[in-house]
Amino acid sequence: MRPVFYNPGMIRPLLLLSLVTLSQASIAGTDTVLEVRAREISKMVAAEPTIDPAIFDKTLLKQLPITKLAPIFAGFFEKHGSATGVILKGRDSEFSGRFELSLEREVVMPMSLTLAAQPPHAVIGLWFGAPSVPLKDFDAVVAELAKLPGRTGFECRELGVENTPVIAARNAEETFAIGSSFKLYVLGALAQAVETGRRKLGDVIQLTPATRSLPSGRMHTWPAGSPVTLHTLAVAMISESDNTATDTLMQTLTRAACEAILEPMHNTSIAQNKPFLTTGEMFKLKLTNGGKWADAYLERDELGRRKLLANELAQIELRPADLELQLLASPSHIDTIEWFASPRDMVAAMDALRTATEPGKQAAGLREVLSVNPGLPAMKDVFEWVGFKGGSETGVLNATFLLRARNGRTFALSAAWNDPQAALDEERFFAIVGRAGQLLARHAAAEATSK
């Protein structure tokens, strides 16, 4: 749940360029040419990149001229240092391969490279993925999380198997602010309403000014009265973290239903999550009236807080021009005004959603809603199916995955990071989480082989 300058839950590749399909020509020494080009590209990661236009296809440079390409490499250098090595991880064709760049500040970054079949074998396709930390095992993942300032938590386990031990964990039972990951509970409330016959995914709801929130998402720009189905709202809520879609669903299902689902979804911070806030209410509390509404909210008991939300706050029109965005420069009440769960709770929430959306269930249509945005594209490289929801605000990060391995086994992974003193390094966090996902995929394959 963040304003327009950030879209929580949407983690995208750093660069994607793909222009033509190569012929399957065979030229002796192509592997060497491919590796040479990869090394040339790795040397461009510098404070002031030197880019030779001769090694890039002219069509590619029309789409991404050197004036735009150079800042990308300079950005890599600023964040991660220069490249210290490049390894060929696999070939997709004679002129196309997958590499791993090692960078000075202890991260590795995937790179895919495609060359023209004819000399001088110009680069016609180039892709950089999100960086990850080269951690050898889960103990190293936990140790890396422990290095981060503030508090971190983590858990991954297999689902659908009795008495399955936790695979890896750190502070798994501690409560964390989870940002937009709370929307998994709203999805759970929708699944329950559908399963009990109170709602259908095709039910049409009209958007109203009362539930118009702020970005992330797009529905805040749609006209009042726009008809949308519950399924459409769910897709926008999970895949784009759309706040207006979320608040519309919460109004339709009721706050009481969203609170009631916490226990069956095994949330252990139920009292802390009452009242269960909408995104609009969160914005009003933290970003209007100099933050004084947050202070007034915290001075009251639960009943008093509900009255404040229903009366004073309900009268405030949420307009971007009125927001005091400087209040987001540092963490604001993340221990008291947020949505809360432990990593273990989030794993349990994904398990509850897995069960609620099994084939044959009335809410089965919600299963694929979780997979529209995989969070980290690299997860799709190592798992057959990926469900994801992430969340953030200043000082808060959460990433929770539902994962099906290629051998059919199902896992959940959740990581959290809170720091009430400072903004967080999102890229570093997701680099660790991405590596944990790779290790989990390897674990799933190795365990299956040993059985």
List the domains of the chain with CATH numbers.
15-128 (3.10.450), 138-450 (3.40.710.10)
Query: Which amino acid type is present at position 82?
Result: S
Give pLDDT tens digits for 39-56: 999 999 999 999 999 999
Token pair of 247 as six digits: 């608040």
Of 416, 267, 399, 420, the closest CA to residue 332 belongs to 420
Whether 270 shows a pLDDT value over 50: the answer reads: yes
Give pLDDT tens digits for 357-374: 999 999 999 999 999 999
Give pLDDT tens digits for 221-238: 999 999 999 999 999 999
CA 2 to chain centre: 13
Query: Which amino acid type is present at position 333?
Result: H
Give pLDDT tens digits for 1-12: 443 222 333 333
Query: Confidence class of residue 92 from pLDDT cuts 50, 70 and 90?
Result: confident
pLDDT at 450 (0 to 100): 53
Residue range 60-88: mean pLDDT, rounded:
91
DSSP state of 132: B
Of 255, 28, 235, the closest CA to residue 121 belongs to 28
Query: Confidence class of residue 433 from pLDDT cuts 50, 70 and 90?
Result: very high
The set of long-range contacts for 19-25, using a CB threshold of 8 Å and a minimum separation of 24, is 19/57, 19/59, 19/60, 19/63, 19/124, 19/125, 20/59, 20/124, 20/125, 22/93, 22/95, 22/96, 22/114, 22/115, 22/116, 22/117, 22/124, 23/117, 24/93, 24/94, 25/94, 25/95, 25/117, 25/118
pLDDT at 4 (0 to 100): 29
pLDDT at 108 (0 to 100): 87
Give pLDDT tens digits for 281-300: 999 999 999 999 999 999 99
Whether 314 shows a pLDDT value over 70: the answer reads: yes
CA 54 to chain centre: 37
Which helix (DSSP H) or strand (DSSP E) does residue 136 occupy? none
Which helix (DSSP H) or strand (DSSP E) does residue 113 occupy? strand 107-115
pLDDT at 175 (0 to 100): 98
Query: Which amino acid type is present at position 50?
Result: T
Residue 43 · residue 36 · CB < 8 Å: no
Pairing mode, strands 176-177 and 340-341: antiparallel
pLDDT at 197 (0 to 100): 97
Whether 28 shows a pLDDT value over 70: the answer reads: no
Query: Which amino acid type is present at position 188?
Result: G
Query: Confidence class of residue 451 from pLDDT cuts 50, 70 and 90?
Result: low
Token pair of 9 as six digits: 């839950």
DSSP state of 386: E
- In this structure, the dihedral spanned by the alpha carbons of residues 203, 209, 215 and 221, taken in order and rounded to 10 degrees, is 80
Whether 391 shows a pLDDT value over 70: the answer reads: yes
pLDDT at 129 (0 to 100): 85
pLDDT at 10 (0 to 100): 35
